[in-house]
Amino acid sequence: MDIQVNDFNITQTLECGQIFRFYKIEPDNFNVIAKDKVINISQREDQLIIENTTLDEFNSFWKHYLDLDEDYCNIKSTLYEIDEHIKTAIRYGCGIRILRQDPFEMLISFIISQQKSIPQIKQCIDKMAERFGNVIFQEINNETYYSFPTLKELSKVSLQDLVDCKLGFRAAYIKDAVEKLKSKEVDLEEISLMETGQARKELMKIKGVGKKVADCVLLFAYHRTEVFPTDVWIKRVMEGLYFDEGPTKIEVIDNFARNTYKDLAGFAQQYLFFYARENKLFQKKVKEA
């Protein structure tokens, strides 16, 4: 299936830190897993070539997932007017789109992300999917793929089972998340109806979910583009670009981002993160968060 796109680059979109369930086959060619689906997606200029799906499935699921209905030309034009830093970052990552991912998967994934590199996060998630998820396709590139485990599936898993997936202290956080979601103490569907501040507080009822993890869930699952997730990477980037590389509290960076980028803060965060990481800016100071 061939799809014509504008303002979209599959490599930039997948490699900007927002998704962990993809596998690079070759340049601009990836296998992407979402829920119980897997596609092969490649790109030639403004054309996407998508395999292992149907037109109906693309229109009902993947088009929304890839955020192809959003007007990124207008978003970039608005951000361009702010300053040279964001303009440079957008020019470098002009094809980034913010994927619309599953809230439960994003919650568990970003709990896992704490103090781990992206390859380590991917490895842990793959272990969980293989042990607790279901086979969804067996022959793409001779690989076996597994769905991300559901709340029901993870509710049957012991703490030791989670520890065995190399989750360390995060295993207890995941167990707490599962218990609170199962009891409806925290309800991911209700969160979608809340204003952003209240939604953040609700997510932070879960052990191990601080503001950064909550904001990642809000941005990458609920498309709350007014949030600006600030981890070690983006903190160093903002200090280097806007605060003369001096130590700056996360609250100050958050306020600056909210006042500067307003409802487009989440888009700005992705452009800045990708630009700085790919160009190894402020690298000596940065450790994965």
pLDDT tens digits, 251-277: 999 999 999 999 999 999 999 999 988
Q: What is the mean pLDDT of the chain?
A: 94
User: Over the stretch 86-95, which tens digit does the pLDDT of each residue have?
Assistant: 999 999 999 9
CA 280 to mean position of chain CA atoms: 20
- C-alpha R_g of the chain: 19
How many Å apart are CA 150 and CA 124, to the nearest integer? 16
Q: Is residue 283 pLDDT above 70, yes or no?
A: no
pTM: 0.94
Q: Residue 286, Cβ neighbours under 10 Å: how many?
A: 19
pLDDT at 109 over 80: yes
pLDDT score, position 140: 72
Confidence of residue 286 (pLDDT cuts 50, 70, 90): very low
Res. 39: pLDDT tops 60: yes
- CATH class of residue range 232-285: mainly alpha
Burial class (CB in 10 A: 0-12, 13-18, 19+), 18: buried
Q: Strand 37-44 vs strand 135-137: parallel, antiparallel, or unpaired?
A: unpaired
Residue 138 binned pLDDT confidence (cut-offs 50, 70, 90): low
Other beta carbons within 10 Å of 38? 22
Q: CA separation (Å) from 8 to 87, 96, 218, 257?
A: 17, 6, 22, 24
The domain defined by 103-220 folds into Endonuclease III; domain 1 (1.10.340)
Name the phi and psi angles at 5, rounded to 5: -135, 160
Which own/partner pairs from 47-53 qualify as long-range (CB within 8 Å, at least 24 positions apart)?
47/2, 47/3, 47/4, 47/5, 48/2, 48/3, 48/4, 48/5, 48/8, 48/10, 49/1, 49/2, 49/3, 50/1, 50/2, 50/3, 51/1, 51/140, 52/137, 52/140, 53/1
User: For 2-69, CATH number?
Assistant: 3.30.310.260
Model pLDDT, residue 284: 58
The domain locations on the chain are 2-69, 103-220, 232-285
CA angle 156, 160, 162 (to 5 degrees): 70
